[in-house]
Structure 1
Amino acid sequence: MTHPSGKLPGHSEPGRPVTSTLKTERPAPAPPRETTVRRDIQGLRAVAIVAVVLNHVIMWPTGGFIGVDIFFVISGFLITGILLRDHETTGTISLRRFYARRIRRIAPAAVTVLVATAVLAHFLFNTTRALSTLWDAAWAFVFAANWHFTAIGTDYFHATDPASPLQPYWSLSVEEQFYLVWPIVVLLVLTVGAKRLRSARRGRVVLGLVMVVVIVVSFCHALGESATTPSAAYLSTFSRVWELGVGALLAAAAPVFPRIPVALRGLLGWAGLLGILAGFFLIDDALAFPGPWAAVPVAATALVIIGGITGPQHYLFPLTNPLSVWIGDLSYSLYLWHFPVMVFLLMADPTLSVQVILGMILALSIVSYYLIEQPLHRSPWLHRFGDSAESSRLAWRTWREKFGSQFILAGLSLFVIATVIGVSAQVTLHGTSSPAAPIAAPGPVEDPTAQLQADLGAAASSTEWPGNLSPTLDDAIATTSKNNPARGCFDVGSTPSFDGCTWGSSDAPNHMYLVGDSTALAYAPAFKVIAEGSNGQWKITTIGLYGCRFTAVPVQNDGAGVMDACPQRKQDVAQRIVADNPRLVVISNAYALGKTPDRTALSAETLVASTAAEAAVYNAAGRIVYLAPPPLGASLGQCYSPVSSPQNCNTGIDQAWQDFAAATSALNGSGSFFVSSLPFSCYNGACPAFAGTIPTKYDTVHMTPAYSTHIAPAIRFALGALGLM
């Protein structure tokens, strides 16, 4: 799961007071004047964005994602400060002017990245991923990306999709959702405070109390959601509001902090900075987040902010030096561009160096800042000039004089970057145009795995995608398991009809069960073919639950409804197997490490032993077969595109698969059997994305129904070789 921040949170125009009223708009002859920007806060932004970018590009530091939390606190502090100063100056808050300024600040750069990403996705991504990216852009445009990504992440059949290049927009959405409501709350509280309390200071107190309640409720919600559904908690508005709220509370309590001695303010700043740096290396994605561990960067950021409220920090040089301030200025553009640039570059050439990726991110961000972000942010766009057309013309003329040369230089830089990208793309396309290796011709062989191995070997050495894949890789990615005939037998909900999940003749003398999680579902088409091609000798029941490991120990899965349905499904299946006393029970579970619902880590050996314990309740000793899933494949959504080579989608045999296979093979002497998937998945340790004319998988884990059907003879042969059929 990625770990970004919105706008960035914290890019909220420090020092720009709102000057018009809510009831009567007064003519504004010119945009509001800037006041001094806090250099320590700009430095905080620099620290945060560097950590976020490095975490995404090189996965270091492990806690770099807490840069998001830093930005949330900064943003809550700055925006609330603007609202409070505006109310104290004019007696009200102009919502129109507030939202106009937010649009000028956020929209130009954000929309530019959305459009550029959608266009590049159309040309560089496969069809399914390009459409998905376009849909992501639509959700991001209306500031609902976090809800969209939450829905996808909790959808079991999309949980392994490659990361969206627009994924960082989740936090921008959280922030803007907060600011859709917060200015109205501030206006109402302060308006009531002015009338009832007759004191601006008392109004701040009431506002602070309101925010304390919001912080407590949101933090408690974050604790609960992080413990039960951590993926949803990370993106949740309600689990993140408390972080913005801490910043807002600091702004409301600002008059209290001047009492702090100057020396202590310096210590607070350094303590906060050291706390943030410690968090980068001590926090990782294995900890419950955002509740409670986000409290570390939130509290540390609050200390830095408090230390600089009453004056500049003269000794906090890591934050206040010119380089840190400049990077802080660029941080919004850096944040918006870094993820799309990284995704597109690595897709085109996975071997690109880190220096090239970081250099391109910096180059595009600088151009975006000087060409789009800063000029439009400072423009008279959306300012109200009353009835004076001359004032409007004067404001625009002044703006053009100030930014004209900047536009020219940034435009030339953009042209150079576009030229470099275009040339690189041509080189990449040329480099992947070599002919594909020939597919071996079928031969009269007794073992069907021989032809499968020939096809897999040819695919593993191919450098060009075949033009006759059926289904196409686009179709395979898009349909996932929708056309799997046993899909309903593995759905969440009440246990389906066993008869409706049984293939072959109802009068067959031999009965077999295939049970397990979604890997069993992926094998179901093969077993359907085996049953229907057995000349009435076998009927096979394929039933289980995707996301539900058939183990004695429950394994946590965040798919919607999975953990609720899993215990009952396993119990119903076990009871039916005992009652039917089948000739054979085949169990297939994912070869992936996991955790219990209380987050206790489970090793491969523990999970294999737990699978054996679950099988023991079937009363089928000597008739249990453990069918290994294929090793993890490449993410097709990421490695397959019009500009990629099949070599990009080849994978090796992952270590987890090897550990599970070794532990499961050791069960052979205890009245059970092990069937490896390597003969129909990989060739000499290389596992390609297709074999012959059929895609092998539709994601990193699951076989396509077409390929599952294709390997039925190989599975039948393996079971026969063990004397089981």
Structure 2
Amino acid sequence: MIDKREEHGWRPEIQGLRGVAVALVVVFHLWPAALPGGYVGVDVFFVISGFLITGLLARMATAGGHAWLLTFYSRRVRRLLPAALLALLVTLAGTLLFLSKARWEETAIQVAASALHVQNWWLALQAVDYLGAAEAPSPVQHYWSLSIEEQFYVVWPLLMAAAIWLARRFGYPPKAALIVALALVFTGSLAASVVVTQADPAWAYFVTHTRLWELALGGLLALAGERVSPAARLRLAMMAAGIGAIVASALLFSDATPFPGLHALPPTLGAVLVIAAGGIRLGRFRGLDVAILRAIGDRSYSIYLWHWPLIVFYTAHRPGVGLFAGLALMALTLGVSELSYRFVEQRYRRPLAGAEWRPLAYGSMAIAVCVAASGGLGYALDRQGVDISLIGTGRYPGPAALLANAAVPADVELLPPLGKLKRDMPIVYRLKCHQGQDSTVPVSCILGDPGGTRTVVVTGDSHAAQWIPAIDRIAREHGWKLVTFTKAACPFTRAPVTDNGKPYPACAQWRDNVLAEISKLRPELMFTSQSNYDNVPQDVMVEGLRSVWGELGEEGVRTIAIRNTPFIRFDPGDCLAANPDKCATPRKDGERINILALAAASLDHVRVVDMNDALCGKETCAAVVGNIIVWRDYHHMTATYALALAPYLAKAAGL
């Protein structure tokens, strides 16, 4: 039995499904351990959006008229932009109030990316970036899914218009042409999703082409006919199976599940079953047509926009979300969302007086304002400098506070400023010669004294790269030419390493290519260091290091291996903003075995240097030493502190 309200185009069970989807997402974000796969709520949203928008577009396109595209885009702008841009601007202001300055720059970048509807691509780049993946989540990270939908709304109407034009030109039914076009999108995107998820799940999670099939699936349902059978009991079974698939996915999936790929089929097909089942009325049972679910579904867009910034602002000052705090955040989200729904969403849904182009013009101006606000904040932060001439002075003794008991004055602004902390990186990152995981052809920077007659090299992963500021200063002071060869997550060893648990052949190829380059350079000295690779057996890593060092030793290259720096258990930016006196990790918890020392045993041409006493006290590793911030993140030094270590590294290395 079909509810009479559906005869007028209103689908209450879809609003109820929206309510279920947003509830899954919110609970997952509040208590991920309780609902580890709650992120599938986003996939349910994709199917719903594809279904509703494709049906709307098909009706508009086949009804005739030349302005249907303009009308559609005008409606989308009125429906989506006001609430989304308001949430972005308020979140940007909240960032200044509630988040550490260390997170301002990245948030400003992501606000601009969200306003321009490319947030998913920015996050994809961050997810596969060795350093970016360690960043704390931004308060606008959730805009990635909205960006995919907006990209769909831009491209799909144009594709539909082209398909209809071709169908009419060659005498085919427009609806059949639309089904064929969307089926091609579905097939190609699903295939890409499976392949890319297997190869690179971090990238696949965010990029558009691995997600379009989910929207296309809903669109195919709209075009092919959403009713499968009028039999009420069969429709009830369909609805139950659909809800079961969605809930089971939310309970059984986790962050270890390769997603999207084939694992996205259960929740999306579950959403298809629920929509296809339609409204159900068996006695008092109405399926998802429940008042509370409909109310949440009506406000699901605002709830989605506002819940995540509130969670991020709260967790920036606390380690997690407890039961009562989570319930309070839920209540606050519902309150803010109600205001957003009533006074923004509903108000701007009404057509503006005048031509349909007006909302597009106003929307473009609003986007420009949002981008300008975030860009202004980014520009202001970028203008902040780090005065390296202060390093080693009485105000900024740095390592001398640990090694020489130098006095440390109070009430001194830290170096680097918190607003520059995340970007206080070795110059090789800015010069693009610290290589990503995919590259195999060595890319080097020439530092130190480029005209020097003696050559030294630095090799290894990002934990070797973090020493470049110190090595660069040493090279300049000695008149040496410094050549850098560093690559993300790739230690300079013949031991096989993996990348996110998968084979990493690019690392081995790059290493062999770098060895060939070093043979051409004929350096006198090589600096190296590396992170901990606990998934590589100790004896395998030792032999891999000895193999490389031994080969270079035969060519007359001496090696200085710098022990890996400790890991800390806090985000330095957030901790220093919230409670700087507690920003420390027990040294015994942060240090690992000195694998380089084990490998260097009996190799006379290798010298192992341990600088950890210059980073940590006897008991703890603190965020700040001698008024200089030591850590950029939980396992990399700031470039400023590395520079402060230059004279101590030179002395320890006997240079």
TM range (shorter): 0.7 to 0.9
- 5 Å-filtered alignment, 1:107-126, equals 107-126=81-100
Alignment RMSD (CA, Å): 4.5
1:339 and 2:308 are equivalent in the alignment: yes
Contact 1:266 1:316 in 2 (8 A): no
Q: In the alignment, residue 367 of structure 1 is paired with which amino acid?
A: G
Give the unaligned 5+ runs of structure 2.
356-392
Q: Give the structure 2 partner of residue 548 of structure 1.
A: 490
| 154 and 115 in structure 1: CA distance in 2 versus 1, 3 angstrom threshold | same
Residue 25 of structure 2 aligns to a residue in which SS? Answer: helix
Matches within 5 A, 1:134-145: 134-145=108-119
> In the alignment, does 2:11 pair up with 1:37?
yes
1:451-480 deviation per Cα after TM superposition (whole angstroms, max 9, x unaligned):
426879x99xx9x9x533233233343342
Q: Secondary structure at the match of 1:687?
A: strand
Say whether 1:525 aligns with 2:469.
Answer: yes
**Which residue of 1 is the match for residue 530 of structure 2?**
589
Deviations 1:431-469 (A, max 9, x none): xxxxxxxxxx99xxxxx978426879x99xx9x9x5332
Aligned to 1:232: 203
Deviation at 1:689, TM superposition (A): 2.2
Residue 354 (structure 1) aligned with residue 322 (structure 2): yes
Where in structure 2 are the equivalents of 1:493-532 lying within 5 Å? 495=442, 500=446, 514-530=458-474
Contact 1:476/1:704 (CA < 8 Å) preserved in 2?
yes
Q: Which residue of 2 aligns with 1:429?
A: none
Distance 2:45 2:181 in 1: 22
1:447-466 to 2 correspondence within 5 Å?
A: 451-452=401-402, 466=411
Match of 2:178 in 1: 207
Q: How does 1:411-430 map to 2 (within 5 A)?
A: none
| Counterpart amino acid of residue 552 in structure 1 | R
Partner of 2:551: 618
1:369 alignment partner in structure 2: 337
The SS at the match of 2:55 is: helix
Q: Does 1:574 align with 2:519?
A: no
Cα distance in 2, alignment partners of residues 485 and 320 from structure 1: 55
Conservation of the 8 A alpha-carbon contact between 1:525 and 1:708: yes
Q: C-alpha separation between the residues in 1 aligned to 2:63 and 2:476? A: 81
TM-score under structure 2 normalisation?
A: 0.77
Aligned AA (1:135): I
Partner of 1:241: 212
- In structure 2, the residue matched to 1:435 is none
Which digits, 9 at most, give the CA deviation of each residue in 1:219-272, with x for residues without a partner?
Answer: 12223333344333222112211110001011112266136x433322222222
Asked whether the 8 Å contact 2:444–2:484 carries over to 1, the reply is: no
From 138, 155, 173, the equivalent of 2:147 is 173
Alpha-carbon distance, 1:133 to partner: 2.4
- Specify the alignment match of 1:305 in structure 2: 275
**Contact 2:424/2:638, CA 8 A, preserved across alignment:** no
Which range moves more in the overlay, 135-144 or 484-493?
Answer: 484-493
Distance 1:487 1:385 in 2: 51
Superposed, 1:93-108 pairs within 5 Å as 94-108=68-82
Q: Identity across aligned pairs (percent)?
A: 29
Deviation at residue 157 of structure 1 after TM alignment: 5.5
Cα distance in 2 between the residues matched to 1:475 and 1:521:
19
What amino acid does structure 1 have at the position aligned with 2:413? N
Give the equivalent residue in structure 1 for 2:249: 279
Measured in 1, the distance between the counterparts of 2:229 and 2:170 equals 27
Within-5 A mapping of 1:612-651: 612=545, 615=548, 618=551, 620=553, 626-633=561-568, 634-641=570-577, 644-647=578-581, 649-651=583-585
Q: What whole-Å deviation, never above 9, does each CA across 1:70-103 have from its counterpart, x for those lacking one?
A: 1101111122233345567778983344333323
Residue 330 of structure 1 pairs with residue 275 of structure 2: no
Equivalent position amino acid for 1:696 in 2: V
Please list the CA deviations of residues 594-627 of structure 1 after superposition, one character each: whole Å capped at 9, or x if unmatched: xxxxxxxx44648735743653562549976653
SS at match of 2:140: coil
Cα distance change on mapping 1:87 and 1:484 into 2, 3 Å: closer
Decide whether aligned partners of structure 1 residues 324 and 580 sit closer, same or farther in structure 2, where only a CA change above 3 A counts.
same
Which one of 680, 697, 701 corresponds to residue 635 of structure 2? 701
Q: Which moved more, 1:188-197 or 1:119-128?
A: 188-197
Q: What does residue 418 of structure 1 align with?
A: none
| Mapped pair 1:183 → 2:151 | no
Change (3 A) 1:181 1:585: closer
1:475 to 413, 416, 420: 420
Deviations 1:161-201 (A, max 9, x none): 33221111111111011112323444554576578768xxx
Amino acid at match of 2:402: L
Separation in structure 1 between the aligned mates of residue 493 and residue 282 of structure 2, nearest angstrom = 58
TM-score by length of 1: 0.70
The CA deviation at 1:211 is 1.2
Question: What letter corresponds to residue 58 of structure 1 in structure 2?
Answer: W
Indicate if the aligned counterparts of 1:502 and 1:540 stay in contact, CA closer than 8 A. Answer: yes
Q: Counterpart of 1:515 in structure 2: which amino acid?
A: T
State the alpha-carbon separation in 2 of the partners of residues 133 and 239 from structure 1. Answer: 25
Structure 1 partner of 2:390: none
Match of 2:541 in 1: 608
Q: Deviations over 1:461-504 (max 9, x none)?
A: x9x9x533233233343342238999857797854579x45669
SS in 2 for 1:258: coil
Query: Aligned to 1:257, what secondary structure does the other structure show?
Result: coil
The answer to whether the 8 A contact 1:515-1:587 is kept is yes
CA contact (8 A) 1:87 1:93 kept: no
Query: Residue 262 of structure 2 aligns to which amino acid in structure 1?
Result: P
* Structure 1: distance between partners of 2:514 and 2:354: 74
Structure 1 residues 716 and 195 mapped into 2: Cα distance closer, same or farther (>3 Å)? closer
Instruction: Tell me by how many angstroms 1:564 deviates.
Output: 9.4
Q: Describe the shift of the 1:564–1:603 C-alpha distance in structure 2 as closer, same or farther (beyond 3 A).
A: closer
- 1:76 partnered with 2:76: no
- What SS is found at the alignment partner of 1:294? helix
Contact 1:585-1:620 within 8 A present in 2 as well: no
Taking the aligned partners of 2:582 and 2:156, their CA distance within structure 1 comes to: 47
Aligned to 2:260: 290
Partner of 2:377: none
User: Structure 1, unaligned stretches of length 5 or more?
Assistant: 1-14, 18-32, 388-440, 443-447, 594-601
d(CA) in 2 for partners of 1:529 and 1:143? Answer: 42
- Please tell me the residue identity of whatever aligns with 2:12: R
Q: Distance in 2 between matches of 1:546 and 1:369?
A: 42
1:196–1:157 CA distance, 2 compared to 1 (3 A): same
Q: Deviations over 1:249-306 (max 9, x none)?
A: 11112266136x4333222222222222222233333343222322232222222222
